[in-house]
A and B are shown apart, each in its own frame.
Chain A
Amino acid sequence: MFKYVKQLTSLVAMVAVLFAFTTETMAAKKSKTLKNTMKKGFVRCGVSQGLPGFSNADAAGNWTGVDVDVCRAVAAAVLGDANKVKFTPLSAKERFTALTSGEIDILSRNTTWTLSRDADLGVTFVGVNFYDGQGFMVRKDSGITSTSQFKNGISACTNIGTTTELNMRDFFNSKGISYEPVAFEKADEVVAAYDSGRCDTYTTDKSGLAAQRTKMTNPDDHLVLPETISKEPLGPVVRQGDAVWEDIVRWSLNVMIEAEEYGISSLNADAMKVSENPAVKRLVGTEGELGSYLGLDQDWSLRIIKQVGNYGESYKRNIADTGILPDRGPNNIWTKGGLLYTPPAR
């Protein structure tokens, strides 16, 4: 009898020790994706096949863009180096399958957040890094300056497999206009077909229109109409079922946005360590233990800000300075009249 009691106590002790050990690194233990990422030494990120401003590779194979920066932020937070990212270019058709099958761990590819995608595809949207809306481009010499001038029989070029096709139908149906949808698999062919005169209008997200306009034979011959026919909140996506990884990606993005809100940039991040404001101090890692909740170290957010920059820096570098959309519009911090509002990092 005594023997059993002794055994039982040691068992309880063992379990207790084990349990204590578990709670300490529970976040890291629970997240398979985080563990795998640390083991591999790089973040696997799915991006577009080339959309200037969002995710685009230069001749040397360096990826830039606001979507790319989300993955870089995660790499900086998890691995300590924003360059430790492996980018996988994906078509609109492949993107969710690549994510759910485990080929990539973050999908950051100008992807619209919708209920059906969020609930039905086995993926989770973690936030919005660009507020977009679908628009139309027409040739200037058509004299069209508003979608109200569209007439029956108009032909519209677009991409397949996107919310664009659905919005387009909703729009033309609600206006009672008959139209001819010409849907291509790749954006380059859409541009070529519209440019050659096959279609009267080209419709996709407005940021996409602005970026693709630069690829036309004569960009100045084309005009993006002022109307926006849909809400297109674009944001990073992760696989369903790994809540910790989901939190890491969500808060990596939130840190970039909140850093801009509090005026912390890659240039002044170190100086901000002595700030009086506790919200600022939490972001640069001198107050609180936010990193440990995510299974990360204390400097995770500081590294994001120092290596990638805040959201405003990323926008300026990728979208404003490249001439795609110099006006930030809704993609500004809420305190400056935009829509970017994140829950507090505390």
Chain B
Amino acid sequence: MKLKKILPQLLTLLFIILVFGFFTMNAQENMGARGLEFGFGFLKTQASFDIQFSLIDYDGSHTYARAYLVGLLNTLLVAFIGIILATLLGAVVGVARLSPNYLIRKTASFYIEFFRNIPLLLQIFFWYFAALRALPMLEDAPMLLNSSFMTIKGLYAPAPIWTNFDVFFTTIITAMIIIFFFARYAKKKQEQEGKRLPVFFISLAIFIFLPLLTFLIGGVDLSWSYPVIRQMSQSSYTFDGGLKIPPELIALTLALTLYTATFIAENVRAGIQGIGKGQKEAAASIGLTPNQVLKLVIMPQALRIIIPPTTNQYLNLTKNSSLAAAIAYPDLVLVFAGTAMMQTGRAIEIVGITMATYLTISLCISLLMNWYNKRIAIQEK
């Protein structure tokens, strides 16, 4: 009886091992026949190529391993910004689709239908080549907010220059910890005494004033480095100083956000509509305000419907960010599975590492969202 249960599993395992073994043997044999060696030693050699945009210190004298890290961080950056923006936009549009206002409702559904049904790669090309080409050259760019310039070569903004940034940073973390405990205290107090504290405003005050205090007594100072235009030749200019955000990052973020937000908006709409009308009416009948109804009754239940499919969209956004290679945003695929693979010829190793990396990122997002999903799930008591 026990054997009968285990046997299929054993056979499957054996099959998988055999398949993997076959492919490994095959690859080894063929690589050997062509004088190729398998190994990861190349990661320690000098990369010799520069990367346009990097979050960490990098130039061509660093190793391939460092180039990999640059690509990975760039991928994570665009995924992070994209996920946040897409979530915000998706939530707004999703609610707007249910708006009683005809114009808002129809605009939201038009936006969803339009952006959802055009291939993402086309949208990336559109934002990069069509929309960005419409931007002015550097010398013609108007000044925005008295400090920034949006040009065809990217967004030039003032860069913050900190003194004693570590003090400021620690204070922010401390403020967040204080807020966390304060919120727990406030909740307990309400449960025990029925007294409600203005949690939101007090938290906001802590979050703003505590870090501000460091400027007065902590020796923290903030000054700005403004971009200054400089002529390079008769017709070309550049900006010195300031912070430069490349147009490739802007176009990619824009395209990923607008595309993924449509799916998230539909999830949000489905979540809200998935809650029975009776819930709302019952909540209203016990005297909750419309705000409380949404916050205490509808949203906790709707989130349970929204989170799982939205996790999928987060994963999609992260994976879709690999389309960056088409418009020269130096993400993991362009830098590592592109340039590095070409320069070293280590196709199997590099594709393997890249696949494992994406898998790891996806699993991390998945784990995080599953944890959140579990937290908001119905707690059977």
Contacts and interface: CB of A to CB of B under 8 A. Distances in A.
A197 B338 contact: no
A144 B137 CA distance: 18
Contacts of B48: 166, 169
B129 A161 contact: no
Nearest to A122: B34
A200 B137 CA distance: 11
Contact of B334 (A117, A150, A185): A185
A161 B341 contact: yes
Contacts of B341: 93, 161
Contact of B328 (A101, A120, A183): A183
Contacts of A100: 34, 36
Given A155-B153, A200-B236, A193 B34 contact: no
Contact of A183 (B33, B230, B233, B330): B330
Interface residues of B, number: 44
A198 interface: yes
Nearest to A100: B34
Contacts of A139: 235-236
Of the listed residues A122, A160, A192, the one surrounded by the most CB atoms of chain B closer than 10 A to its CB is A160
B52 interface: yes
B230 A149 contact: no
B63 to A, nearest CB: 15
Contact of A142 (B152, B234, B339): B234
A151 B342 contact: no
A165 B49 contact: yes
B342 A93 contact: yes
B142 interface: no
B211 interface: no
A97 B351 CA distance: 12
A222 B95 CA distance: 51
Contact of B35 (A166, A179, A180, A240): A240
Contact of B34 (A116, A182, A239): A239
Contacts of B220: none
A196 interface: yes
A182 B152 CA distance: 13
A189 B153 CA distance: 15
Contacts of A11: none
A245 to B, nearest CB: 13
Nearest to B244: A180
Nearest to A201: B236
A117 B338 contact: no
Contact of B345 (A117, A162, A173, A192): A117
Contacts of B153: 155, 197-198
Contact of A198 (B152, B240, B330, B338): B152
A139 B237 CA distance: 13
A142 B49 contact: no
Given A150-B232, A193-B328, 5 more contacts: A121-B345, A142-B234, A166-B343, A169-B50, A181-B49
* Closest A-B pairs by Cβ, 6 of them: A161-B342, A143-B234, A153-B238, A122-B34, A121-B345, A142-B233
15 contacts: A93-B341, A97-B347, A100-B36, A120-B344, A120-B345, A141-B234, A143-B234, A154-B236, A183-B334, A185-B334, A189-B327, A189-B328, A197-B137, A197-B152, A241-B34
Interface of B: 30-31, 33-36, 48-52, 60, 129, 132-133, 137, 152-153, 230, 232-236, 238-240, 246-248, 325-328, 330, 334, 338-339, 341-345, 347
